[in-house]
Amino acid sequence: MKGFEAFRVAFDALRGNRLRSLLTMLGIIIGIAAVIVVVSIGAGARDQIESQVEGLGSNLVLVVPGQLDTANPGQGAAAASPLQVSDGRVLGDVVGDDAAVTARISSAAEVRAGSRESYVTVQGSDQNLPYVFTRPVAEGEFFTQGDVDTRQRVAVLGSVTSQVLFAGADPVGRQITLAGTRFRVVGVLAEQGESFGVSQDNEVHIPITTAQRLFGIDRVDAFAVKAPSAADVPALSRGLRQALREEYPDQEFSAVTQTQILGVIGDILGLLTAVLASIAGISLLVGGVGVSNIMLVSVRERTKEIGLRKALGARQRDVLTQFLVEAVLLTSVGGVIGIVVGVGGSLLVNGLSPLPAKVEWWSPVVAFVVSAAVGIFFGVFPARRAGRLDPVVALRTD
Amino acid sequence: MTAPAPSGVDGPATSGPAIEAVDVTRSYDLGGTVVDALQGVSFVVEEGEYAAIVGPSGSGKSTLMHLLGCLDRPTSGVLRVGGRDVLELDDSELADLRNREVGFVFQSFQLLPRSTALDNVGLPLLYRGTKRAERRELAEASLRAVGLGHRLTHRPNQMSGGEQQRVAIARALVGRPRILLADEPTGNLDTRNGAEVMRILEELNAEQGVAVVLVTHDDEVAGRARRQVRVRDGRVERDTALEARPAGPAGDAPAGAGPAAAGEPGARHVAGQQA
């Protein structure tokens, strides 16, 4: 019996039992659809994060205290920071441009303007931030070196914070209260967008010296350094760490680049996606067991038919092929439906929920191959049983 | 016209007897107890013969039919079907031999319920690798030969029992086998339909030269054959050649009236064990 004929016979058999075929497929449909949606969300999240990290610029180096092992995230420990604002000058000497270095500490606080209030990220930084992070000022001015040196209580708002506190009115020159202290707004940054579903525009920038006093700390969390070009990044990273080690002989420092962050994020998301897809894949396995079960029932029900086919000249191989093709047809049709549902579901998630989802071209292909493989794997046992039936016994069965 | 032996994979066509059984035994091992269903059966079915195997239930006639139909292999002895020694064939070759040499007609018709008459009849050809168009063509010709040219696309549940059995006969003959094995072919039919089925079998035997072997306990049916092989307790008890009956008005004969314990009409002389 040729392959095509086997497909025709199998198709007729499945069509003759429509409801049962559909219910059997359901396990495969759900499994395949779930895996595709999970993989799509993983891919969408990775893409979004990557584009945001890339937004940092490929020539940005973050200098942080402690040994961060980017190859094994979670292994290294961030040490208590020994960094001081004055270290910015040391780093500036390494890169050859003081303006290419900006210090940073981060905290969070409640901010009020009149009767409006909001909970925001407070970034303590210096006058170099707009240049180093490429964040243009939309209104007013960024604070100056003088403001930093003299601990002025001035603030630059993110675009969202500005909107929340002043509802479209020009905030420059107005007063805000940050953690109980009054600040004068001197500027508003241009819109930046979201990262990880959190707005980067809902923040308030104040001079780092002011922030240190406001939050009662005398350290700097990190420095961001802008390399002249992406090609200078590796050499610059070494130079920066070297310079800081000379400054603090007992301490380790790490220079984190965009490439490293991308690598780490890719690894973490890949692992997370794999774990979630495996969990979804379990339902595929359960679906496969269902197919096996139904095929066994089908073999038993059709014992007489098998006996007849053998009496008419069907070989063991013909009967085996017939039932195997039936199982594969069942799972691959289920797979195709699952792909349609999964792709549709991914598009819905992308459109209707905050989660990003992106259907990779290979995921439907892999899904189809896997569903067919599930059919073969779970179909072989019932099909062999059918093929081995003794025609005399099979014909006698009622 | 004799049934043409198919050429090719089957090896050389032989012109010997259709079936040749020499001292065939078949034992079943039923969990320690060995049951000898057949205890040394020998007989020959020539090409184009019309024979009936009769005997009470438990006599071994079903086992014998399974052996003749290559559904089973003997425990010992020699069984040649279409010139091939059954014991020398593996499962695939045996399936092929069944496909080419034997046509089955069962008491309960055994049609695939969801398939049309055409598809049912074409089934043996499917396992021979015949192309779909040719299958349909041959199946249609075979259905017309049993007078069912108007029932080609009907399904079994749309046909009467007699029609269903005629579809089964068309299926048995579509591959032009040398032997047609009919197991109680009239067992599920009323008298009129039974007679019609018998008439068709006789006609095919006479016109196409296919050897017909009936297995039955209906003396009326058995009496129409030209030879009766009576099986009892796993042995051939009697092998009787009967006078050829004219294929006359069979239909209205009353079905075997009495139980006819031992003496059956027509068994007038006992022939030798083998022809």
Q: Across all residues in chain B, what is the average pLDDT?
A: 84
Q: Do B71 and A304 touch (CB under 8 A)?
A: no
Are the CB atoms for A39 and A360 separated by under 8 Å?
A: yes
Nearest to A248 by CA among A63, A120, A59: A63
Helix (H) or strand (E) run with residue A363 in it: helix A362-387
Nearest Cα of chain B lies from the Cα of A299 at a distance, in angstroms, of 15
Other CB atoms within 10 Å distance of the CB of residue B176 = 18
Q: How confident is the model at residue B9 (pLDDT cuts 50, 70, 90)?
A: very low
ipTM of the complex: 0.83
Question: From the CA of B101, how many Å to the nearest CA of chain A?
Answer: 10
Tell me the nearest-neighbour CA distance from B104 into chain A, angstroms.
8
Helix or strand holding residue A176 (H, E) = strand A175-178
Phi and psi for B272 in degrees, rounded to 5? Answer: -65, 170
Give the DSSP letter of residue B3: P
> Chain B residues with CB-CB distance to A under 8 A?
66, 69, 71-72, 91-92, 95-96, 98-100, 104, 106, 110, 112, 114-115, 123-124, 126-129, 132, 171, 175
Q: Where does residue A280 fall: left (phi above 0), alpha (psi -120 to 50 degrees), or beta otherwise?
A: alpha
Residue B22 scores a pLDDT above 90:
yes
User: What pLDDT is attached to residue A8?
Assistant: 86
pLDDT at B249 (0 to 100): 45
Distance of CA B201 to the CA centre of its chain: 10
Nearest partner of B270 among B241, B231, B235, judged by Cα: B241
Residues of chain A neighbouring B72 (CB-CB closer than 8 A): 391-392
Task: For residues B114 and B106, give the distance between their C-alpha atoms in angstroms, rounded to a whole number.
Answer: 18
Q: Is A308 left (phi over 0), alpha (psi -120 to 50) or beta?
A: alpha
Beta carbons within 8 Å of A262's beta carbon, 6+ residues apart? A50, A53, A54
Longest Cα pair distance anywhere in chain B, in angstroms?
54
Chunked mean pLDDT (size 10), chain A, 398 residues? 78 88 93 93 86 74 76 51 86 88 90 90 92 88 92 93 89 91 93 66 92 90 88 88 88 83 84 89 90 93 93 94 94 96 94 88 92 94 94 84
Distance from CA of A330 to the nearest CA of B (A): 19
Residue A255 β-bridge partners: A63
**β-pair type (A203-207, A116-125):** parallel
Whether B85 is in a domain gets the answer yes
- Residue pair A106/A121 in contact by the 8 Å Cβ criterion: yes
Residue B271 lies in a domain: no
Q: Once rounded to an integer, what is the mean pLDDT over residues B83-88?
A: 93
Handedness of CA A334, A337, A341, A347 (dihedral sign): positive
pLDDT tens column, B163-204: 999 999 999 999 999 999 999 999 899 999 999 999 999 999
Provide, as residue numbers in chain B, all residues whose Cβ is less than 8 Å from the Cβ of A16.
114
Out of A305, A312, A391, the one facing B127 most closely (by C-beta) is A312
CA distance A234 to A251: 20
- Summarize the confidence of residues B84-112 as an average pLDDT: 93
| Residue B273 scores a pLDDT above 60 | no
Q: Tell me the chain B residues in contact with residue A393 when contact means C-beta distances shorter than 8 Å.
A: none
Q: Report in angstroms the alpha-carbon separations of A66 from A62, A72, B28, B59.
A: 12, 14, 82, 94
- What string of H, E and C letters represents the secondary structure of B198-244? HHHHHHHHHHHCCEEEEEECCHHHHCCCCEEEEEECCEEEEEEECCC
CA pair distance A100, A8, nearest whole angstrom: 71
**Where do the domains of chain A lie?**
3-51+264-396, 97-224
Please count the CA atoms within 13 angstroms of the CA of B34 that sit on its side-chain side. 7
Give the span between the Cα atoms of B149 and B154, in whole angstroms: 11
Q: Do B112 and A2 touch (CB under 8 A)?
A: no
Short-list B135, B216, B228, CA closest to B175 = B135
Query: To 10 degrees, the CA torsion angle through B192, B198, B202, B208?
Result: 110
Q: If pLDDT is split at 50, 70 and 90, which confidence band does B272 have? A: very low
CATH code of the domain containing B49: 3.40.50.300
Strand partners for A199: A194
Q: Which residue has the tokens 């603030």?
A: A155
The pLDDT, as a whole number, for residue A2 is 64
Beta strand B179-183 with B235-241: parallel, antiparallel or unpaired?
unpaired
> Contact, B201 vs B169, CB < 8 A?
yes
Among A312, A317, A393, the residue to mutate for chain B (most B Cβ within 10 A): A312
Both structure tokens of B212: 């017909």
Per DSSP bridges, beta strands B211-216 and B50-54 are: parallel
Alpha-carbon gap, residue B86 to B78, rounded angstroms: 8
Question: Does residue A175 sit in helix, strand or coil?
Answer: strand
Q: Is residue B164, in this structure, part of any structural domain at all?
A: yes
Tokens coding A276: 């979630």
Residue-number span of the structural domain to which B97 is assigned: 19-241
Look at strands A194-195 and B235-241 and give their pairing: unpaired
Q: Which residue has the tokens 């086998």?
A: B177
Rounded to 5 degrees, what angle do the CA atoms A210, A213, A219 make?
95
| Chain B residues touching A310 at Cβ < 8 A | 71, 95, 98
Task: Give the tokens for residue B254.
Answer: 């009353």
DSSP SS3 for A155: strand
- Helix ranges, A138-207 (H): 145-149, 159-166
Name every residue whose Cβ is closer than 8 Å to that of residue B91 and which is 6 or more positions away in sequence: A315, A316
The sign one gets for the Cα dihedral B133, A308, B193, B268 is: positive
> With contact defined as beta carbons under 8 Å apart, do B172 and B104 qualify?
yes
Which residues lie across from B104 on neighbouring strands?
B181
Q: What angle do CA B70, B75, B78 make, to 5 degrees?
A: 65
Q: What would the two tokens of residue B195 be?
A: 């007679």
CA distance A7 to chain B (A): 13
Interval B229-240 mean pLDDT: 91
Nearest of B24, B34, B185, B36 to residue B103 by alpha carbon: B185
Q: Which residues contact B117 (CB under 8 A, 6 or more apart)?
A: B139, B143, B148, B151, B152, B153, B154, B155, B156, B159, B167, B170
Three-state DSSP at A61 gives strand
Q: What is the mean pLDDT of residues B262-270?
A: 40
